[in-house]
Copies of this chain bind each other. A is one copy, B any other.
């Protein structure tokens, strides 16, 4: 993965001065890594090195997998499914409508949608063999309303169809949460989430590893990418640390009132990866109070754009409207495949300049044309170049972004790891459910 910031509009000398400013935090991160434990708020950076968990997850995935597996039903919301969905959609999900026979497919049940639940119920009722399905329910606390509601309904339908098929469930939750204890009582397989690893930082824990391993994704490669990136992103020289560079750039613009960050991907299948980051940035950085309990109502609004589709949607606003955003273009160094426009064309007089070109060439021209237009208009942007669509690249990108957000919170003097205001609606909802 490469991170390029030459068009960020933050001068090199400003980037440099932060090395010293943030040096105490480097020591903290170093301690977290040296202890290699799960005792710190930043402990998610140790997940890629947790071979005990990886072995356990891979063994369980092997036990649950079989040639009959058709559907992996992931029940979870927010941090419990966004990382898995990001990787699934990029590699398979975005193309599922074109590949009806490819199996296993992953079905994400996050919110409570009555139509979706009903249709999923019918799919389960029409399933021939219990081994066609594996249900992985994920809830850190063990008490997430939507997840428990979906789990109750889907379990009932599944167990009515296949009584005694509790071996087709895996529950991922905090060790000894009530859900954990109840599952254990029933003999359901459980996987633990390290207590201090929050949902949005949990993709390299059992939360992401188990469903992805079950799918056949090379989770070792994913963690290899994450390890490589942890090493780069904990380097105390800003010049060598992309996470710190990116955090400083976001912070410098934030200080000037630029409080929107656009993750602009140029491969549609990466939209869910953008949405994974959307949670990470919004929930970590959007805070009512700073570390000294002072009310600041701070945050950076993360938005996700998909090229070239969104150039035909929000492009006019981005290029004509307010200069109130930073942009991170995400692109691939190497595409899996390419397709040429035939030289002998059916409509040769239309868009003549594409004759004989390939679609990757066209998309690169559109993307680079967009960057030039941004530059001419004075819009700040960074570029992330992933090697390719691969578990390793996602491991790199996700680790990069999780450490970026930790640095950014430190610079903003806020706590990246809590989400106190989510309680505001939960309290009201509980009153209404009484």
Asked if A111 and B433 make an inter-chain contact with CB atoms under 8 angstroms apart, the answer reads no
Contact B114 A359 (CB under 8 A): yes
When C-beta atoms are compared, the residue in chain B nearest to A150 turns out to be B359
Closest chain B residue, CB of each to CB of A307: B111
Distance of A41 from chain B, by nearest CB (Å): 16
Q: Chain A: interface secondary structure? A: helix
Identical copies in the complex = 2
What CA separation (Å) do A285 and B110 show in the bound complex?
A: 34
Q: Give A233 Cβ to nearest chain B Cβ, in Å.
A: 23
Contact with B along A400-434 (1 / 0, CB 8 A): 00000000000000000001111011111111111
Interface residues of A in 118-175 (CB under 8 A from B): 118-123, 142-146, 148-149, 151-153, 155-156, 159
B-chain residues with CB within 8 Å of residue A369 when the two chains form the complex: 425-432
Q: Is A239 an interface residue (CB 8 A)?
A: no
Which of the four size classes fits the interface of chain A?
35 or more
Judge if A203 is at the interface, Cβ distance under 8 Å.
Answer: no
Residue of B152, B260, B309, B422 touching A78 (CB-CB under 8 A): B309
* Minimum C-beta distance from A105 to chain B (A): 6
Contact indicator B297/A323 (Cβ below 8 Å): yes
Residues of A306-361 contacting chain B, CB below 8 A: 306-309, 311-324, 335-342, 345-347, 349-351, 353-354, 357-361
Known: A316-B419, A316-B421, A422-B311. A341 touches B149 (CB 8 A): yes
Could you say which residues of chain B place their CB within 8 Å of the CB of A227? none
Q: Is A6 part of the contact surface with B, judged by Cβ < 8 Å?
A: no
Known A-B contacts A111-B308, A119-B98, A362-B146; the reply to A279 vs B152 at CB < 8 A is no
Bound complex: CA A351 to CA B96 (Å): 34
Q: Enumerate chain B residues within 8 angstroms of A337, measured Cβ to Cβ.
A: 114-115, 118
